[in-house]
Amino acid sequence: MNTLQSPTTMVPDRHSVLKRCLRASSIGNAIEWFDWTVYAIFAPYLAKNLFNPSDETSALLSTLAVFAVGFIARPVGGLVFGRLADRSGRRHVMILTVSMMALGSLSIGLSPSYAQVGILSSIVLLLARLLQGLAHGGDSATSYVYISEISPRESRGLWSSTIFVSVTSGSLLATLLGVGLTKSLQTSEMLSWGWRIPFILGSGLGIYAYYLRRSLMETEVFVGQRNMPERTKTRGDSSAGERTEGLLITALRMIIFTAGTTVTYYTWAAFASTYAISVKGMAAGDAFVASMGAQLVAIIMLPIWGALSDRIGRKPLALGFACGFMVLAYPLDWLLSNEPWTLFVAQSVALTLWAMVASIYPALMSEQLPTQQRAVGIGVASSVSVALFGGTAPYLNTWLASHNMHGVFTAYVIALCVATAAAVLTMHESRASDLA
């Protein structure tokens, strides 16, 4: 008697397993991005507690410099953990990196203040952020690859969009917590101990994400590649140089492509409320509410754009994002004032444009590289670009604004979007590609 299950009984079961993995990965991403984003949301409070508070502008700039330093570790994390993911599997790396993020958040939440230990508090913050940078560089690329590899080809754009739905949800949760804390606590309470709550909470959520990710299955694409005979993987040794050259060109293209994407994200998603509070003089609670509403708009738009890319392709949406910011960057900047509605409108428009490319980013990046170099390629390329253009954006924005040169920063954003458009034009349309 044949004891094997029939295909009709196995396919639904397999699909349910993949959907469970999608949910577990997405929840883990949301929690990890909560840990990552609360730093930017609560930067003004970190500046007053972990740096010398006698010069408020210098303290804020120092806090943002540490924010940027965390990004320096991202390419290292992308290289180390990307190589590990390509050799040992995606699942193990995703479990390890979320644990590191939780440890970094706990270290910040329990850090002694500048008044207690002086510069040691700044050093603790720096080390914790470096740890998170290493973890974030490895996890971002690995989670992009993981979702892309488990998704059906015909709906890879839609499944891909869930990554930044979870990313934005994590940022939204951080913003919502900012609203709740600033509305319920006095300013003195926030400065004294309230600012620690999001980091301690983030470490607890990170433990939950760790247990979720332990249930993940390894991707069939990776398992199939690992089990492939070595001679099949390396056939055509005479073309090894051409393959290396092709990978380097692809990596450079990916770095340039990511430049506009990341600077707009860290300008309009991660740092918009802090900029409105610190530079425009907007009330903190009102700024958080406005930003929360704009992020809800982005969450709605992400799956819409992702599903559309499965019909019309990835390139039209990527070009739409870049061209949209070329046209609207200055008008959106001029609109922003100390009125909360201006932040909501400007940030909603900006994040709708950003969602066009964010929804397809994991799928598009994964479709450019072979399985055995996919995680490390995306990890290094995206982390280098994010370190150069994303992590430095809040500091550069604040510094130029303090010298009445904010318009220069807006021109910088436009220039990077032009570079992104140029990179997109050199890519092939990958909507129908198989991941192999």
- Give residue-wise pLDDT tens across range 241-261: 555 556 778 888 999 999 999
The answer to whether position 231 is within a domain reads no
Tens digit of each residue's pLDDT (9 = 90 or more) over 74-125: 888 888 998 899 988 899 999 999 999 999 999 999 999 888 888 888 888 8
Chain segment 31-52, per-residue pLDDT in tens: 888 887 788 778 888 888 888 7
Is 208 inside any structural domain? yes
Is 400 a residue whose pLDDT tops 80? Answer: yes
Query: Does pTM top 0.85 for this prediction?
Result: no
Token output for 369: 């590289």
Q: What percent of the chain has pLDDT over 70?
A: 92
CA–CA gap between residue 267 and residue 269 (Å, rounded): 6
The Cα 192–Cα 187 span in angstroms is 9
On whether the CB atoms of residues 213 and 25 are closer than 8 A, the answer is: yes
238 residue type, one letter: S
Phi/psi-derived region of residue 236, left when phi > 0, alpha when psi is between -120 and 50, beta in every other case: left
Tell me the C-alpha distance between 66 and 391, whole Å. 9
**Residue 404 gets which letter from DSSP?**
T
Q: What is the per-residue pLDDT for 340?
A: 93
User: In the predicted model, what is the mean pLDDT of residues 54-71?
Assistant: 74
Alpha helices per DSSP H over 151-186: 156-184
> Residues with Cβ < 8 Å from 143, sequence gap 6 or more?
25, 28, 29, 94, 163, 362
Instruction: State residue 229's pLDDT score.
Output: 57
d(CA 417, CA 326): 7
What does 197-237 look like in DSSP terms, one character per residue?
A: HHHHHHHHHHHHHHHHHTTPPPPHHHHHHHTS-HHHHT--G
Q: With beta carbons less than 8 A apart as the criterion, state whether 375 and 340 touch.
A: no
Q: How many domains does the chain have?
A: 1
> For residue 242, is it within any domain?
no
Domain harbouring 413, CATH code: 1.20.1250.20
Any domain includes 49: yes
What is the rounded end-to-end Cα distance, in angstroms, of the chain?
36
Tell me how far apart the alpha carbons of residues 404 and 263 are, in angstroms, rounded to a whole number: 20
d(CA 95, CA 301): 29
Mean pLDDT of the chain: 85
- Note the pLDDT of residue 109: 92
Residue 245 has a pLDDT of 59
CB 114 within 8 A of CB 51: yes
Residue 35 to residue 14: CA distance in whole angstroms? 32
The pLDDT value recorded for residue 3 is 39
pLDDT, residue 46, reads 85
Separation CA 152–CA 14 (nearest Å): 12
Q: What is the rounded (10 degree) CA torsion for 73, 261, 252, 134?
A: 10
Q: Phi/psi of residue 389, each to 5°?
A: -115, -25
The C-alpha angle with vertex 127 and arms to 400 and 262, in degrees rounded to 5, equals 45
- Domain assignment present for residue 354? The answer is yes
Q: Are 328 and 273 in contact (CB under 8 A)?
A: no
Residue 239 has pLDDT above 60, yes or no: no
Distance CA 142, CA 88 (A): 12
| Token reading at 426 | 């050199």
Residue 2 belongs to some domain of the structure: no
The answer to whether residue 430 is domain-embedded is no
Tell me if 7 is assigned to some domain.
Answer: no
Buried b (16+ CB within 10 A) or exposed e, 255-266: bbbbbbbbbbbb
Domain that holds residue 206: 19-221+248-425
- Separation of alpha carbons 29 and 162, rounded Å: 10
